[in-house]
Amino acid sequence: MNQAFLDRVRIVLVNTTHPGNIGGAARAMKNMGLSQLYLVDPYRYPHEEATRRASNADDVLEGAVVVKNVQAAIEGCDLVIGTSARERRIPWPLKDPRACMAEAVSPRHQRNIAILFGREHSGLTNEELAMCQLHLHIPTNPDYSSLNLAAAVQVVAYECRMLAQGETVEVSEASGWDMPLADAGDVERMHQHMANTLATINFIDPANPKQALTRLRRMFSRIRLDEMEVSILRGMLNRIDKAVARNKAD
């Protein structure tokens, strides 16, 4: 059993409305041996309904970390997976839970792995999905594709366990790459920096930047930036910022 992998899986529930779903998710997690629960700005929490639905998984519930936004929830992760009940306008690599977890268990990923779950009524926003490297869709009846939130967590947590039970992947095993993958928080700051710089040089219109920035995000999510690459890109952006400031001063 690769418990180390299960320990690195972080279930992130974004703006959950029903406390019962938070409890149900905690129970689903504990059944499958997961423990990292992050709650992004939940409507009602703590709540007795959450505790009741968690049954004996109140330790997972009590250990839940409440954060303000998705950015804070993905700090310390090197893979961010967004779950979605339907397809979006800009297609991202869309995988089923098994394929996603097969990728997550790869020794390339040594930090935490965040799996984002959306709001009961509206799912994840396009901006939140653009922060993810992979989009996960649980195959369903196309005419009725939206699972209950806690049920979706159950399916994904089950696939995590199946992988952890399979061939044990040694995390220490070198993946043949010379640098660790970048922290998702640093990648997010790089994207924000890039958006600002691109607006300053009029490459994008800050009033209408969406498509170009989303496509850039998709490109970088395909590459999977490492620490050094993020630092080179930040250095490059800093130089551009300085050159622009110098030009303006002249």
Under 8 Å between Cβ of 104 and 81: yes
- Site mask for ligand SAH (CB under 6 A), range 172-211, x = bound: ----------------------------------------
Residue with tokens 């196309």: 142
The span of 83-91, 99-107, 166-174, 223-231 binding ligand SAH (CB under 6 A) equals 83-91
Q: How far is the CB of 11 from ligand SAH (least distance, A)?
A: 10
Alpha carbons 115 and 134: distance in angstroms, whole number? 9
**How far from the centroid of its chain's Cα atoms is residue 161's Cα?**
19
Under 8 Å between Cβ of 179 and 186: no
Tell me whether residue 28 or residue 213 sits nearer to ligand SAH (CB atom).
Answer: 28
Burial of 239 (0-12, 13-18, 19+ CB in 10 A): exposed
Residues 130-149 close enough to bind ligand SAH by CB under 6 A: 136-138, 140, 145-147, 149
118 binds ligand SAH (CB under 6 A): yes
Question: Which residue among 75, 120, 226, 227 contacts ligand SAH (CB under 6 A)?
Answer: 120
Q: How far is the CB of 40 from ligand SAH (least distance, A)?
A: 12
122 binds ligand SAH (CB under 6 A): yes
Cα separations in angstroms, 222 against 27, 100, 187, 202, 248: 33, 14, 13, 26, 35
Residues that bind ligand SAH (CB under 6 A): 83-86, 117-118, 120-124, 136-138, 140, 145-147, 149, 152
